Structure 1
Amino acid sequence: MKRVAIGDVVLESGECIRQVEVGYQAYGTYDREANNAVVVCHALTGDVYVAGDEQRAGWWEGLIGPGMPIDTNKYYVICSNVLGGCYGTTGPASLCPEDGKPYGSRFPFITIRDMVRVQRRLLEVLGVEQLYAVIGGSVGGMQVYEWMTEYPEMMQLALPIATCSRFSAIAIAYNDAARQAIQSDPEWQGGDYYPAAGPRRGLSVARMIGMITYRTAELFEERFGRSLQATNDSDPSQTMFQIESYLRYQGEKLVDRFDANSYLTLLKAMDTHDIGVNRGGIEQALSRVRAKVVSIAIDSDLLYPDSHQRDMADLMERLGKKIDFYLMESKYGHDGFLVEFQKMGRIIKPYFDR
């Protein structure tokens, strides 16, 4: 991973974060004349390794890489860690320049729009003036919506996947349950737990809640059903089902790689996401779009229902925008955009076969 300093950043709220650094990874070679730059926006706990490297697999390597639908032999692909994250970009665990101590509870409220403005600043530092495409799923798709309304002349193609133009009430409810799990953990200490490990139990439970929303009842039933992980004949209350074991494993795995304050920061950015804010509403915001839009929804998505993306596609069509809408069938639910590489590839590939 590479890191670059982009200077002070004034947030949408008016607050300023000083001396911001951005962690990013780039694949391929930039060709200004060919306009081959592609920005990939990652999801909630994602990182910059979209296509992987010699040491690790990439979370979208089935779609991005040499010979893949987004071919890094042709395209210059950039993925940066979001503002507020914990994988190389300034976030709550970063040291505040004023006193050299972690921000913790002092880290300011940020929005999806703030994240995108930081990504735009990164491109300026890298000397990338135009993009062929911006693509992302889930929270990454929220960023795509912001890209195509905040910088409408910047890209030719925008691909929001399994996402929304504004967060729904039920999704905010799931996020608040996760937030309460973290903040109820005594080890959270109001966000000022560094250098201790912090609210590991709370973050683990928050992740368990998230995992329930990312998959489907059909998939859980198929994989686990009522199969037992462990039995206890003397105390049946201690019997554990495989689905319980799976969720606990997923929760424990996250706490080893993610910061609880970053999780809270990004959840709140999701909650407040609405491209219509300070733009006269969603219709006025979408009227700004100039790129060709390829919207991909998942029919079993609990967190980002396909009906919302279909409504946005219909609205853009009424506004005279160039829009193609695809509904992808998947038993994997919201996580389908991270799993169904063949289905996704068939949809995406024609738009990158230039």
Structure 2
Amino acid sequence: MPFERRTTQPENPFSRLSPGQTIVIVPEFKLDSGYTIRDVPVAYKTWGVLNEAGDNCMLICHPLTRSVDVEDWWANLMGICGLEGKGKAIDESKFYIVCLNVMGSPYGSASPLTMNPETGTRYGPEFPQATIRDDCRLHKIVLDDLGVKSVAICIGGSMAGMHVYEWAFYGKDYIKLLVPISAPAKSSAWSMSWTESQRQSIFADPKYLDGYYSLDAQPTQGMIAARMTAMLTYRTRASYERRFGREIMDSDNSSQQEKPSIPHSEVHRLAHNAGHRHMKPYPLSFPSTNSSAASLQTPDQSHSSKESVASTNGSSSPSTPDSSSQQETKIAAYQPPMYSAHSYLRYQADKFNERFDANCYIALSRKMDGHDVLYGRGNYEDVVRSIQQPTLVLGIESDVLYPFYEIKALSELLPNAELICVKSEEGHDGLLLEYEQVNDAIVAFMQKHEHIREILRQKGVPIPERNGPRGAMFASW
């Protein structure tokens, strides 16, 4: 009997950021932890048509902060793939393309944002920890329900590449080709330490409340710090130097309106706290003689301070006009320096807060930390060597999160692997930015295998017209 399907998830506002997806409800699912969850939503999206044999499925796994909307982040890889020469890797005219949302993500599958049927409220921080392996087992249930008999090729980068490695253990007759991109078969102490530092940033936000915050009062400052840290691991020093250097953003002094004067000490306070989102705003008027410290005192404290000054100076009269002018400056003349690099990080963090949830970020980062294909299977090297499928391993030469030497060493353990080094100074984000290299490598790999060529020989179905990549909400992994 087919599962119940929905197109909306009212309790989760973030699910609306993935248009056109379907949410299937799996009645119950037992996690690796032994805990069973019920009425489990799984969001997915498909392109193309499943053939009669059910063997033309292209399974695309999504990265950490992405949804199932492949068009939004890999549209440059979508198009027509021929038997020879250049083409596009994601050909929905020939393949049945499926992308399923992982547990813990805010975009529709079971997560801290979805309802716990036992309580009738959102799970929040009480959502049970799921693993990469749990995702694959749950997604296999949905693929079976869709009629998929085998997967012609499984593709994914970063966290999605972790899923690709886990899918390998469903056997070469079910998952026929693997394309993990800049992803490990087990998480390293290095990558785990980065995710821990990001979680600690969220925990430090007083609005976090052990995860029991309301959706209209998220721990945004903690998320800003976490996202900024993540953005540094996705790029490289060379990338930042080339793009930003020490460039300072232009100040906006277009207004000719007279600005009020403020003390120099207040200017120093504002400059010191530039970028601090919860800083106390400066008052619009100040005593002509006093420090910013006094302006922040309570009325009683301010009165006591003035009396102390009067007794010391022998007079309670204000400063002369000359000394007053030395202690004040026009607001229009004060523009704290905004370096382009700072502006970029603040912008990306603000955009991220519009599209992600803190509890979900914590759940997904813990899932990545726990990734290890050897768990319950034996020795790491023996387990990796047991992967029989032809595998295209892509690594980014400048990746600091999953360094190329780590990816190369992994590829050498795989018995049927081909290694491609993507040339880029952009680090981990090269997976998105160097899309031509990534696309061409996948196309060439596909064209080598007869089962793929057989699919490409089949009569295709029409591809709907599109306006091109949207990408407004998703600027990085």
TM interval, short-chain normalised: over 0.9
User: Are 1:102 and 1:194, in contact at CA under 8 Å, matched by a contact in 2?
Assistant: no
Misfit runs of 4+, over 6 Å? none
Instruction: Give the alignment of 1:126-275 within 5 angstroms.
Output: 126-229=146-249, 235=268, 237=272, 238-275=336-373
More RCO (CA 8 Å, sep 6+): 2
In the alignment, the residues of structure 2 paired with residue 195 and residue 213 of structure 1 have an alpha-carbon distance, to the nearest angstrom, of: 28
User: Are 2:55 and 2:148, in contact at CA under 8 Å, matched by a contact in 1?
Assistant: no
Question: Which of 12, 21, 24 is matched with 2:44 structurally?
Answer: 24
Q: Which residue of 2 aligns with 1:6?
A: 26
3-state DSSP class of the match of 2:176? strand
Cα deviation digits, residues 223-266 of structure 1 (max 9, x gap): 10001126799646442211011001111101111111110000
Q: Which residue of 2 aligns with 1:322?
A: 416
Q: Which moved more, 1:128-137 or 1:1-10?
A: 1-10
Cα deviation digits, residues 146-192 of structure 1 (max 9, x gap): 11024453211000001101111111111111000111111111111
CA RMSD of aligned residues (A): 1.8
Cα deviation digits, residues 293-315 of structure 1 (max 9, x gap): 11001100010111111111111
Q: Which residue of 1 aligns with 2:402?
A: 304
In the alignment, the residues of structure 2 paired with residue 34 and residue 125 of structure 1 have an alpha-carbon distance, to the nearest angstrom, of: 12
The amino acid that maps onto 1:333 is: G
Unaligned runs of 5+ in 2: 1-20, 82-87, 253-263, 273-335, 448-452, 454-477
Q: Which residue of 2 aligns with 1:111?
A: 131
Q: Which residue of 1 aligns with 2:426?
A: 332
In the alignment, the residues of structure 2 paired with residue 274 and residue 192 of structure 1 have an alpha-carbon distance, to the nearest angstrom, of: 30
Q: How far did 1:291 drift?
A: 1.5
TM-score computed with the length of structure 1 as normaliser:
0.93
User: Are 2:385 and 2:413, in contact at CA under 8 Å, matched by a contact in 1?
Assistant: no
User: Are 2:55 and 2:149, in contact at CA under 8 Å, matched by a contact in 1?
Assistant: no
Q: Which moved more, 1:107-116 or 1:236-245?
A: 236-245
Question: Which of 97, 107, 112 is matched with 1:77 structurally?
Answer: 97
Q: Which moved more, 1:173-182 or 1:283-292?
A: 283-292
User: Are 1:9 and 1:20, in contact at CA under 8 Å, matched by a contact in 2?
Assistant: yes
Q: Which residue of 1 aligns with 2:119?
A: 99
Q: Which residue of 2 aligns with 1:55?
A: none
3-state DSSP class of the match of 1:45? coil
In the alignment, the residues of structure 1 paired with residue 79 and residue 218 of structure 2 have an alpha-carbon distance, to the nearest angstrom, of: 36
Unaligned runs of 5+ in 1: 53-57
Q: How many residues are aligned here?
A: 344
In the alignment, the residues of structure 1 paired with residue 355 and residue 90 of structure 2 have an alpha-carbon distance, to the nearest angstrom, of: 28
Question: Which of 267, 279, 283 is matched with 2:381 structurally?
Answer: 283
Among the aligned pairs, what percent are the same residue? 36
Q: Which moved more, 1:283-292 or 1:1-10?
A: 283-292
Q: Which moved more, 1:245-254 or 1:188-197?
A: 188-197
User: Are 1:6 and 1:125, in contact at CA under 8 Å, matched by a contact in 2?
Assistant: no
User: Are 1:149 and 1:285, in contact at CA under 8 Å, matched by a contact in 2?
Assistant: no
In the alignment, the residues of structure 2 paired with residue 127 and residue 164 of structure 1 have an alpha-carbon distance, to the nearest angstrom, of: 30
User: Are 1:230 and 1:241, in contact at CA under 8 Å, matched by a contact in 2?
Assistant: no
3-state DSSP class of the match of 1:284? helix
